[in-house]
Structure 1
Amino acid sequence: MGRLKWGTLNKRVRLSVFSFDVHASIVIGFALHWTWVWVTFWSSAFYSVSPQVGQAAGVMTLEPLWLLSLLTNVLGYGALFVLSKRRRVFGRSMTAPLCAGAVTLVGTMLVSYPSAATFGDAASFVYMLGALLTGVGSAVEVVLWGELLSILGARQTIVYSVLATIAGSAFYLLITFLPGQAARFLTALLPVAEMWLFTRRQNMVRNARIAAADESPRDGAGSQPPTRGTVRNALLEIAGISLFFGLSYGVMKGFFVLGTETLITVRDYLNIAALILGAAAILVTTSVFRMDFRHMTYQVALPLMAAGFIFISLDYPLDLIGFAAHQMGYQYFYIIIWALWAILTRKLNVPVARFACISMTALMAGQLGGSIIGAQLISLATDRYTMAIVAACSVFVILLVALFAFESPFPESGWGVFHPLVRDDAAPKFRRSLEALAELRGLSPRETQVFELLAKGRNCSFISAQLVISEETAKTHIKKIYRKFGVHSQQALLDMIELDGKCG
């Protein structure tokens, strides 16, 4: 790794392998979000306080918190998708993170202590209300983080996701080792801390000039606005593959709905190990093998998930190994999705919220439907032979999807042509990339001129003479540029430009 500079959350951690500065406040805030998700929905910390609701709905023994929160997630993301046509950037408002953190806090508290309502059947009502609130709050949080990370670019999104996965796994282990009451109370506080850390970097979203309805391509940029068909095809493709991965994950979760407490505990800890391995795998495939996103999805993520279904039909502990392999593939794909938001919003000049909401709507809907299907299948698979048939059918479907989806009917407008680490040395395109980066980071026209000269390796004296400004004025512009890009030196800025999704 590189040099570590810790002091406050605003200090940066320099990763020499990626040659840019990482804000610890973003890493920890993003990690807290994932920790909240994992403890609330994956661990058994909240299941012991769950009232018996939802059983009559024919969904077997799936947790009411899981079902209700997913349902509200789907509705919440759908509503945000519609709102994104008018409010194209949610993260510019201070109200959004405050409301999201407060709603998620209240919802988590209600599902943590439903028995506090002592009259009639109020406990079940309180629990259901809390589950619904967690779905709404977490949906807004995801969109906010998606907007912030997309501004930083696909590469930084991948690095932040990997670091947040590792940090979140450590937080998860610490919380799950606490007594039940303490674990639930601490988990309820995570959304507030997460959104507070988000506000520490909210100025990045406010300063960024994200695509707006009345914006047109910059003069001289040489780029054409995307057609409606191009945007529609990209939305359909990312929604379709998200729906499939969500279904696959939901089915796998449903397979364990009737597991023993010991089995679930072991599964949860294996799950954490799989998350870290999946995050590490995406670093290898992007930095070493330089795979494009389509190959990463269909040649890495899908085979891992298919392997999970093969092992799931075997005896303990091989079935748990299958779950871990499947989860590794899912986490791998989940990070890809976040990186794709950054790529697509720049390439197609479309707000991040559009891609984030449509893909998360499909992903959550898939998880909801898949978990119900998986729970029903496991109840019917009374022997290993039947389970083997179910597993074989699942693998067959995954392979079919990998085969036909890879040959997308609209590859030119889809996301498969985007490479996370492929360099393009064409000078005109390089200049257009610099202009796009300057606009995204909210640079003024003069700062953009200074930025272009810095990108060519010019020093302060040259910039001063070239732009006919004093050296002090040039130094002031340079400092502002460094601050907006989160770097401390010209070399770090050059490294970031080289590794950016549009320039690197």
Structure 2
Amino acid sequence: MASSLRRELWRTPDLLGFAAHWIWIWCVFWSPLFYKESEHLDALATGTGLVPLEPLWVVSLLVNVVTIAFLLTLSHVRNPLGDIKGLPLAGGAVTALGTLALSHSALVLAGSGASLLYVTGAVLTGIGSGIVVVMWAELFASLGSKRTVSYSVPALLIAAGLYFVVRLLPIDPAQVLVALLPLASMGLFLHYKHSAPRLPRRNRNVRVKEKPPLRLIAIALFFGASFGIMKGLLAPAGDEWIVVRDLLNIVAIVGGTIAIFVTMSVYKMDFDHLTYQIALPLMAAGFLFLPLSEPWNVIGTGVHQAGYQYFYIVLWALWAVAASRGNVPAGWVAGWGLLSIQLGQLVGSIAASLAVGLITTELQLAMLSAGFIFVILIIALFALGGGSANTAWGFVKPVEEADTASDFEKAGTRLARRCHLSPREVEVFFLLAKGRNRAFISEELVIGDETTKSHIKSIYRKTDVHSQQELINLIEGEGKEGA
């Protein structure tokens, strides 16, 4: 996996695209950049009874859940979702507009309409970020578990470093820069999509008739709810400790990311051991600190965050395995997983926030925390530790799971990127590589014969070959060099 990681580090534009998505999340929801902009909504928050939770978190996450549910429904008949024309850029643009609406300058200019603008911004960020995260999750699930991990690790480490750079900027330019990140993320996403092999026509827009992956849904719901509960219970902490919590969470994410790389590449753990021997104990340890006073309860959130982020990457790798082995669209599996995580976070954070109002003593908080630890350990010992062998993926080692693309396809992808083939030329290129003639290509891609002929000429010119057999030989040579 180490060599795989080194190869992926050269894919800087793609890594920066995924990193930009994470920087946006951290800056909007886990930093003071946008916290104070909700002060004029105190009356609204009081009316909902969710005073400790940031209004942006509740509104945006609720809309995010609805958006992902819609995309999941769409994925039953329209897949891959990333091939829907204009959808990725629409997601980036809507997220950018929503973020700008939440900025200090925009709210000041809105005057008496600031509250309406704030809610509108929260709704737009929920819609747009739902599209953006589904695009990335679908893409990774189609690449295989090994490549999912080798992408996620360096991207998250890059994101953490750039996040601290953004935090050093003055608030107004920082907010504008953060608003542009979703557009950059989707632009770089399309950069990858245009240079990757496209699914054959027969594998696109396949109707999904399989039942929902209930076990994956249950695990994702549980982990999402655990994160939401931790956030809701610590929401009443003072402003100075909230800032410390957010910074500590980023450090914890880096630690969890490095840990997932070590346990997968060095110890080669399977999904069961990655889950119930590492992630769950870390999350349980976070709840141990919760009943204590500052700074210990804040440190507890960092410990919990490390375990949560650790398993978040495991889940994304797991979706790739489920999609490959179940022969179902990657977006469908990833959609169920993301919907479950986000719904768990929403329900968990609201329930915990409401419970905070009922807790009057430290003993009650300690008992509540102990209850969560008990539930986590029971799941670790029984639900995950003993039963997942029946699912056929519990004993799978992500770093040893074969990628969905063959070596020949990977070599072709590298060559297509290096020769700067256009999206349509990439499609023609891979059909030529499979030995297809001009008539077949025209019918498969629904283009005219002269158009096909023009694309083939352009491909031969860019790759510096003169025949279809020379092109195939060139790809095979590329594969030997990359092995």
The TM tier, using the shorter chain, reads 0.7 to 0.9
Is 1:344 aligned with 2:330? no
Could you tell me whether the CA contact under 8 Å between 1:29 and 1:194 is conserved in 2? yes
- Cα distance in structure 2, aligned partners of 1:333 and 1:71: 23
Higher mean alpha-carbon deviation, 193-202 vs 327-336, is at 193-202
Is 1:117 aligned with 2:110? yes
CA 1:446/1:181 → structure 2, altered by over 3 Å: closer, same or farther? closer
Counterpart of 1:253, as a letter, is: K
Could you tell me whether the CA contact under 8 Å between 2:217 and 2:336 is conserved in 1? yes
Question: How far is 1:294 from its partner?
Answer: 2.3
Q: Specify the alignment match of 1:286 in structure 2.
A: 264
- Cα distance in structure 2, aligned partners of 1:305 and 1:273: 15
Is 1:147 aligned with 2:142? no
- Cα distance in structure 2, aligned partners of 1:491 and 1:189: 38
Identify which of 373, 395, 399 aligns with 1:421.
399
CA 1:159/1:214 → structure 2, altered by over 3 Å: closer, same or farther? closer
Question: How far is 1:475 from its partner?
Answer: 4.9
CA 1:388/1:208 → structure 2, altered by over 3 Å: closer, same or farther? same
Is 1:295 aligned with 2:285? no
Question: How far is 1:413 from its partner?
Answer: 3.8
Counterpart of 2:256, as a letter, is: G
- Cα distance in structure 1, aligned partners of 2:397 and 2:200: 24
Q: Specify the alignment match of 1:41 in structure 2.
A: 29
Question: How far is 1:353 from its partner?
Answer: 1.2
- Cα distance in structure 2, aligned partners of 1:259 and 1:211: 54
SS of match in other structure, 2:400: coil
CA 1:213/1:473 → structure 2, altered by over 3 Å: closer, same or farther? closer
Counterpart of 2:163, as a letter, is: Y
SS of match in other structure, 1:365: helix
Question: How far is 1:179 from its partner?
Answer: 2.2
- Cα distance in structure 2, aligned partners of 1:440 and 1:410: 37
Q: What's the TM-score, normalizing by structure 2? A: 0.82
Q: Specify the alignment match of 1:20 in structure 2.
A: 7
Could you tell me whether the CA contact under 8 Å between 2:146 and 2:401 is conserved in 1? no
Q: Specify the alignment match of 2:457 in structure 1.
A: none
Q: Specify the alignment match of 1:168 in structure 2.
A: 159
Is 1:70 aligned with 2:70? no
Question: How far is 1:73 from its partner?
Answer: 0.9
Question: How far is 1:387 from its partner?
Answer: 2.0
Counterpart mapping for 1:432-451 below 5 A? 434=406, 444=430, 447=433
CA 1:478/1:192 → structure 2, altered by over 3 Å: closer, same or farther? farther
Counterpart of 2:20, as a letter, is: L
- Cα distance in structure 2, aligned partners of 1:29 and 1:93: 19
Counterpart of 2:471, as a letter, is: T
Counterpart mapping for 1:142-221 below 5 A? 142-204=133-195, 207-209=198-200, 212=203
Q: Specify the alignment match of 1:244 in structure 2.
A: 222
- Cα distance in structure 2, aligned partners of 1:378 and 1:308: 17
SS of match in other structure, 1:350: coil
SS of match in other structure, 1:403: helix
CA 1:212/1:177 → structure 2, altered by over 3 Å: closer, same or farther? same
Question: How far is 1:401 from its partner?
Answer: 1.9
Counterpart mapping for 1:225-236 below 5 A? 231-232=210-211, 235-236=213-214
Q: Specify the alignment match of 2:458 in structure 1.
A: none
- Name the structure with the higher helix share: 2
Q: Specify the alignment match of 2:471 in structure 1.
A: 476
- Cα distance in structure 2, aligned partners of 1:421 and 1:236: 24
Identify which of 75, 79, 94 aligns with 2:70.
79
SS of match in other structure, 1:87: coil
- Cα distance in structure 2, aligned partners of 1:19 and 1:402: 33
Counterpart mapping for 1:317-396 below 5 A? 317-396=295-374
CA 1:129/1:479 → structure 2, altered by over 3 Å: closer, same or farther? farther
Question: How far is 1:248 from its partner?
Answer: 0.5
- Cα distance in structure 2, aligned partners of 1:192 and 1:214: 26
Counterpart of 2:172, as a letter, is: Q
SS of match in other structure, 1:270: helix
Question: How far is 1:213 from its partner?
Answer: 6.8
Give the aligned CA root-mean-square deviation in angstroms: 3.1
Percent pairwise identity: 37
Question: How far is 1:489 from its partner?
Answer: 5.6
CA 1:317/1:74 → structure 2, altered by over 3 Å: closer, same or farther? same
- Cα distance in structure 2, aligned partners of 1:321 and 1:17: 34
Counterpart mapping for 1:75-114 below 5 A? 75-112=66-103, 113-114=106-107
Counterpart of 1:46, as a letter, is: F
Q: What's the TM-score, normalizing by structure 1? A: 0.79
Counterpart of 2:251, as a letter, is: A
- Cα distance in structure 2, aligned partners of 1:289 and 1:448: 38
Deviations 1:432-481 (A, max 9, x none): 984996899778477358xxxxxxxxxxxxxxxxxxxx997555225457
- Cα distance in structure 2, aligned partners of 1:58 and 1:74: 21
Question: How far is 1:16 from its partner?
Answer: 3.2
